[in-house]
Amino acid sequence: RKDLLDIASLHREEIEFLLDQSTSFKKLFTRSVKKIPALEGKSVLMLFYEASTRTHSSFEVAAKRLSAEVTNFNVDHSSITKGESVRETIETLQAMRTDYIVVRHSHSGLPGMIARQTTAAVINAGDGAHEHPTQALLDAFTIKEKFPDPRGKKVLIIGDILHSRVARSTSTLLQKLGVEVAYLGPGSLVPKYVPASIPRFTDYEAAMAWGPDVVYLLRVQLERQDVQFFPSVREYHRVYGITTARLAEIRDRGLYIMHPGPVNRGVELCDAVMDYERSLITNQVENGISVRMAVLDWLTPGGDFPKQEAYAAQP
18/102 with CB nearer ligand CP: 102
54/278 with CB nearer ligand CP: 54
Beta bridge partners of 158: 184, 217
Name the residues that contact ligand CP, by CB under 6 A.
52-56, 126, 135, 260-262
Q: What is the nearest approach in angstroms of ligand CP to the Cβ of residue 202?
A: 25
99/131 with CB nearer ligand CP: 131
Q: What is the nearest approach in angstroms of ligand CP to the Cβ of residue 137?
A: 12
Question: CA dihedral defined by 26, 29, 30, 31, rounded to 10 degrees?
Answer: 130
Q: What is the nearest approach in angstroms of ligand CP to the Cβ of residue 286?
A: 13
262 annotated as belonging to a binding site for a ligand: yes
Distances (CA, A) of 41 to 122, 231, 298, 300: 17, 53, 16, 14
Cα separation, 271 vs 237, in Å, equals 12
CB proximity list for 213: less than 8 A, separation 6 or greater: 147, 153, 154, 155, 255, 256
132 annotated as belonging to a binding site for a ligand: yes
1 annotated as belonging to a binding site for a ligand: no
165 annotated as belonging to a binding site for a ligand: yes
208/217 with CB nearer ligand CP: 217
55/142 with CB nearer ligand CP: 55
Q: What is the nearest approach in angstroms of ligand CP to the Cβ of residue 259?
A: 9
Q: What is the nearest approach in angstroms of ligand CP to the Cβ of residue 53?
A: 4
How many angstroms from the chain centroid is the CA of residue 163? 14
The answer to whether the beta carbons of residues 156 and 212 sit under 8 Å apart is yes
Q: Tell me which DSSP letter residue 218 carries.
A: P
221 annotated as belonging to a binding site for a ligand: no
97 annotated as belonging to a binding site for a ligand: no
CB proximity list for 249: less than 8 A, separation 6 or greater: 208
Distances (CA, A) of 147 to 65, 105, 118, 140, 175: 28, 33, 39, 10, 15
Other C-beta atoms closer than 10 Å to the C-beta of 82 total 6
53 annotated as belonging to a binding site for a ligand: no
43/124 with CB nearer ligand CP: 124
Q: What is the nearest approach in angstroms of ligand CP to the Cβ of residue 99?
A: 22
Other C-beta atoms closer than 10 Å to the C-beta of 122 total 28
The answer to whether the beta carbons of residues 2 and 118 sit under 8 Å apart is no
Residues at the annotated binding site? 54-55, 82, 104, 132, 135, 165, 219, 261-262
Binding residues for carbamoyl phosphate, by number, are 54-55, 104, 132, 135, 261-262
Annotated binding site for L-aspartate: 82, 165, 219
